């Protein structure tokens, strides 16, 4: 599972969101609209994506 990755793209603005959601986006490496990041597919990353699922889109999960 260590070699699996997931690509996420930010599609929503963190403006007027609670600080936990802003911090989660920064933890995912996202802080500007349409920015994409390829991250390891771990339960921790999946949980972070679940917390901000209304602000991000999973582009690719290999």
Q: Which of 2, 3, 1, 10 is nearest to 49 (CA)?
A: 10
Model-level pTM?
A: 0.89
Number of structural domains (the chain) is: 1
The pLDDT value given to residue 60: 81
**Other C-beta atoms lying within 10 Å of the C-beta of residue 29:** 13
CATH (domain of 9): 3.30.1390.20
Q: Tell me which residue range forms the domain holding 35.
A: 5-61
For 40, what's the count of Cα atoms within 13 Å in the CB-facing half-sphere?
6
pLDDT in tens, 2-56: 589 999 999 999 999 999 999 999 999 999 999 999 999 999 999 999 999 999 9
Cβ pair 34, 11 in contact under 8 A: yes
Cβ pair 52, 19 in contact under 8 A: no
């Amino acid at each position: 599972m260590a070699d699996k990755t997931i690509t996420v793209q930010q599609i929503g603005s963190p403006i007027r969101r609670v600080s936990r959601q802003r911090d989660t986006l920064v933890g995912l490496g996202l802080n500007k609209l349409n920015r994409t990041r390829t991250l390891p597919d771990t339960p921790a990353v999946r949980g972070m994506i679940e917390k901000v699922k209304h602000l991000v889109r999973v582009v690719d999960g290999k």
